[in-house]
Chains A and B, each alone.
Chain A
Amino acid sequence: MQPLSRLVFPALRLLVGVALTFFGLLLVTFLIGRVVPIDPVLAAAGDRVTAEVYERVRTELGLDLPLWQQFLRYVGQVLTGDFGRSILTSNPVLVDIARFFPATLELATIAMLFGLFFGIPLGVAAATHQGRWPDHLVRVLGLLGYSVPVFWLGLVGLLVFYARLGWVAGPGRLDVAYDDLFDPVTGIVLLDAAMAGEWEAFRNALEHLVLPAAVLGWFSLAYLSRMTRSFMIEQLRQEYVTTARVKGLSEARVVWRHALGNIAVPLVTVAALTYASLLEGSVLTETVFAWPGLGRYITNSLLSADMNAVLGGTIVVGAVFIGLNLVSDLLYRALDPRARGR
């Protein structure tokens, strides 16, 4: 009896928490949708409608109901995937999002890999060389990462690496020449090109991807290296590290196997949270690089006051955010025996 309840209760609490958070997100987007100075009836039916049509559309949209009933209706619609129709593209918002989301996913994932690949070794080096140049390098990278506006870094990157040096391809995901070479099966260009065997297109896609991913990944690099450094310093002070050294293990083995093994759990949870912020951070990066992802979809809709699309996009990003928070929490529980049953 005891072990079961120990397993079930925390899981239940977690689920209730996630449900409440999602409910809160919907409440906020609902309220935002209500304070918009745009008349939703006119937005749906067009500017020149007769009073009769106006009333009918108003009833259809449920705007004559009391506010709490409107909210329940709204929750029901969102849960069944109905975010309304985008005015800009005249598609259902969910269809649009499904089309734009893979591009964002691709960008954020490569940026994340970039951050992990460089950030963790840098953080380890900083911890093992405290007060010397790797440590200073990580501090400077971190400080710059938190101080540089990502959209500006993107512009300067385009100026230097695309226009002046010609090392990378320009804005967009592919050159026009490669546009219809293969079918968008997954919507992730690198995967699609590889599956179609179009290696030249793959190479081109990579050239387009590397700069925005590096600009965006810079922030995950800054954060991950800082966190790795502080986790690592904490571990290197522990007695088991001394024991391992006394045993005669090589320093590399002590650091990379013993100490890193112990910080893997907090690092994974930090990485999951970083991933969430990368998805969000891609809004500005996508605008600069004309990257046809969710962020650009949201900002484009914003500028044309297309509220269904904006709020739909917000809900999807918010849901992914909440989901990643949950994943990070679950991973922590699953991987760290000390956190179980708490």
Chain B
Amino acid sequence: MPAVVVDNLVKEFRRFQRREGLAGAVKDLFRRDYQALRAVDGVSFSIERGERIGYIGPNGAGKSTTIKMLTGILTPTSGEIAALGLSPHRQRKQYVRRIGVVFGQRTQLWWDLAVVESLKLLLQIYEVPRAEGEARLAKLRELLALDEFLHTPVRKLSLGQRMRADLAASLLHGPELLFLDEPTIGLDLVAKDAIRALLKRVNDELGTTILLTTHDLRDIEALAQRVMVIDGGKIVYDGSLEQLRDEAGEEASAEIELLEPASLEELRRLLPQVRFAQDNPLRLRAQFSKRELPAAQLLARLVGSLKVADIALPEPSIEEVIRRIYEKTGKSAMVAAKAAGGGAAAASR
């Protein structure tokens, strides 16, 4: 049986529309305008035990709203969630005992308590048997290197330390499911790497199922076996990371450094399938479709006809990949309109 089954999940919010200016503020005093907003719009998926899933999408796409429904914080407008055989919001107390949650933006710990006191209090709240709790705390202290700040109040921790403490708090009761909302936000590169390595270990060694949202696509590359992309409240992609790359990755590019300047016209005659651009006389960029022209063939033709110093074939970044997915699914207009700040523009494109 899957760990989580989500069926046609919908969440609607009502948003108060503030009017502009002084006259608008006076009007708001007497009558308010509301707009219904479908943050999550018919999402369905299932998660097997032990999976590591990356849940990505642009700002306001519905990621956090989905997580909050999965953790029992929000009650869905419609649709069903069965997680660990329970309904998160209906059987909240029973359910949250078996999950761990980390919100990168905000700590789950008590601001004024020392880390160790927070953790011990959590052990009591989750009613973890004493021996089990102590063993797990010892393990987490080692795994997360908590000892350097164990007796520091949470408000005095650095962001990286706080994230480690929060991770410890979320794992203390041995959860079967771990939800992370932007777990690496604001961290430096070293701290990010540490968190990623740790999450991988938790998944490998404890078999904890992990679902994380992120803006940092390196998190996804380092952690996710499976990627779900949400946009406009709908899942627009659900599959493996490799498949995601393949699907969007037919478009390739090459960066070519030359020893001697080459004429663009000549190149275009030689390789009509390729779009060339010139940064300077000794530096070219080429864009091509792998289906029309395998990369190896491109390399051979180039080396055969030019004095080449170096050729690089950069992998497409995931930002790029996701952008292409949006293009494929016809969501690009919406993304563009959102970036421009007007939802209404979507219809006209």
Q: Is B one of A's binding partners?
A: no
B interface residue numbers (CB < 8 A to A): none
